[in-house]
Amino acid sequence: MKLLILDRDGTINRSRDDKVASPDEWEPMPGALEAVARLNHGGWRVVLATNQSGIGRGLFDMASLNAVHARMQRELAAVGGRVEAVFLCPHAPEDNCDCRKPRPGLFRQIGARFGVSLGDVPAAGNTLRHVTAAAAAGCPAHLLLTGPLAGLASADVQVMPDLPPGTRVHADLGAFADWLLSQPSAPKMPA
């Protein structure tokens, strides 16, 4: 099996300014669930790395977040997909932790848990914060133009000074999945 790290908000589901705090507020991005299913069927194990500062800020609790992820898994299962694991940073920005993106702690946790070299693990998300953390951890970084950068041309994004060198840019998760599935076979994970 091959491992892939995705962001959650703005990548799999729509972002909200007031945070996704309940299952009723979770809404998939167009085509994202089907993209995850295609990746799974192509042999990719998908895990999420997500900042969830709403916990640290007291906006919602772990039970609510678990209910959101249960809905996500049900909707993924309905189209033949699944997320293997969710790694999250529950801290508020002022906590100055290593797991809050753009720091690489979540990615390092994933590498340790799965026993893989992160240089072989692509990571895709819709913010510079996600790709910066991915690149800092050694992952091949992929930026999706579905968040704050939506509407920008790929060529304009490629020359942004904060974009980590080597970051590939894709229109959305579906376009990233198409690209990844067209690549030669990636390294195999240990059994």
Other CB atoms within a 10 A radius of the CB of residue 103 amount to 18
Confidence at residue 84, expressed as pLDDT on a 0 to 100 scale? 97
List strands edge to edge, sheet with 141-144.
85-89, 44-51, 2-6, 123-125, 141-144, 168-170
Q: Which pLDDT belongs to residue 190? A: 45
The reported pLDDT for the residue numbered 191 is 42
Per-residue pLDDT of the chain (191 residues; tens, 9 = 90+): 599 999 999 999 998 888 898 999 999 999 999 999 999 999 999 999 999 999 999 889 999 999 999 999 999 999 999 999 999 999 999 999 999 999 999 999 999 999 999 999 999 999 999 999 999 999 999 999 997 777 777 777 877 888 999 999 999 999 999 999 999 864 444 44
Tokens of 29: 């991005």
Question: Residue 105: its pLDDT value, please?
Answer: 97
Active-site residue set: 7, 9
Q: Kindly state the helix (H) or strand (E) to which residue 119 belongs, with its residue range.
A: none
176, 142 contact by CB (below 8 A): yes
Q: Whole-angstrom Cα distance, residue 22 to residue 65? A: 7
Q: How far apart are CA 5 and CA 127, in angstroms?
A: 14
CB-based contacts of 39, cutoff 8 Å, min separation 6: 4, 46, 81, 177, 180, 181
